[in-house]
Structure 1
Amino acid sequence: MNKEFFISYLPMLQTLGINALKAIAIMLIGWYFARFMRTKLIKILAKKDEILANFLAQLGFIICIIITIITTLGTLGVQTTSILTVVGTAGVAIALALKDSLSSIAGGIILIVLRPFKKGDVVELGSIAGKVEAVNLFNTSIRMADDRLAILPNRNIVSANIINSTDSERRRIEWVCGVGYNSDIEKVRNIIKEVIANMDKIDQDFPPFVGITDLGASSLNFTIRIWAKIENGVFNVRSELIEKVKVALDKEGIEIPFNKLDVTIKQ
């Protein structure tokens, strides 16, 4: 009886075994194809844009895996139309539950299409400032100046004011220097201009501005505006300018006053 029962089900078992082997083969081929495609996309597109390459590679990998899973289930005898119906129904429920995550994916697509920045750009996003490391499906990685890594949802970036500091090769530096009220205005201006003219890191193609812009409580305030190339380091150039102006003013005996408070005591 058991032998006859086994023989009667043998064709079905053979079919199931063949389908199982096909399903395993499809899963393995689909998995390796998804990885192969991701690697190739990164290798081909990274030469032009690493962020675009990484984003498309992630998206392509996920799509290939989804197609592989549906094909595998179809090979095992599961109705594909039923799968798509279930996936569609589940998709609506998931979309409602994960609307913030989906909006981040949409935000990532917008960032890739509009291209407000690329990898390596220094950007300001609200209170966060740093160098762009990657734009992923859900978030963007920003390496801050103190080497901390900020991971921001793409939906927040799309709705934020984006300031790209690397879009230009140069940056304007502004500094206010106060001198005593008894100082010779023209002499101070010439000293500062001479310091600027002797600094190689300052872009001399853009005329500097040196002039009084405020009569402070205890000083004549000169505003100094210069242009420096980003490759030289904006903070380094500003620091060097301040040091050399201080040395030059001290050499000429020009006072750089500090805040004073005069108190008169009546007897």
Structure 2
Amino acid sequence: MLLLHGFPEFWYSWRHQLREFKNEYRVVALDLRGYGETDAPFHRENYKLDCLITDIKDILDSLGYSKCVLIGHDWGGMIAWLIAICYPEMVMKLIVINFPHPNVFTEYILRHPAQLFKSSYYYFFQIPWFPEFMFSINDFKALKHLFTSHSTGIGRKGCQLTAEDLEAYIYIFSQPGALSGPINHYRNIFSCLPLKHHMVTTPTLLLWGEKDAFMEVEMAEVTKIYVKNYFRLTILSEASHWLQQEQPNIVNKLIWTFLKEETRKKD
């Protein structure tokens, strides 16, 4: 089981799932390229989507596996979708949390001002060095706000982010240069999408927090047209963008159900 985190997170965002699934799976939660203690190349070209996809393929190979259960959240969800599209033979089952199929995202954002506004940080991140500066000033106030505010934070109706949890995030992103790699992921996105070959043929579970401050829930509902196999969408009311941390018991139960049930291709 391979777990891909989002922004601005690292492997720690999967702490509840690592404990839950370790008895039946070899569970590996990665730090994506440029995050945490991974290599962080300086140039933005090193963070193109094809590089990120190849990273995951190479990691799976290095672990000695040809297939995996692939789970991705947020930006990690984007990568998970792309792996299922480009290397369907690698993915036994696909689970994505709060990120729609990439084609849905790019088409929806162009037609719906509300989503364009919610995704405005994608454009802000295109500016050199300034986003890193804004995240780091005032003792990483912006990063703390992202995780703890009423509008965007973790714990709206579920598990709160503890002081120790928040300290773990601040420690990781306060290391020298630790913000540039993660933000560089976004600095290539407009040159990479949309996709030409976009259908997913893997059994897929899409989990969604209804009160996601960054993603319109309608995108989740449209995603099913891009999955030419078993597809299940579960929307959790009153849940936020940070679903696997905020509602871990429910998320884990839904994942178990999906993993254990027989899934068959749609007619």
Which of the five TM-score ranges fits, normalised by the shorter chain?
A: under 0.3
Rg comparison, structure with higher value: 1
TM-score, normalising length: structure 1: 0.21
Q: Which has the higher helix share?
A: 1
Q: Which has the higher strand share?
A: 1
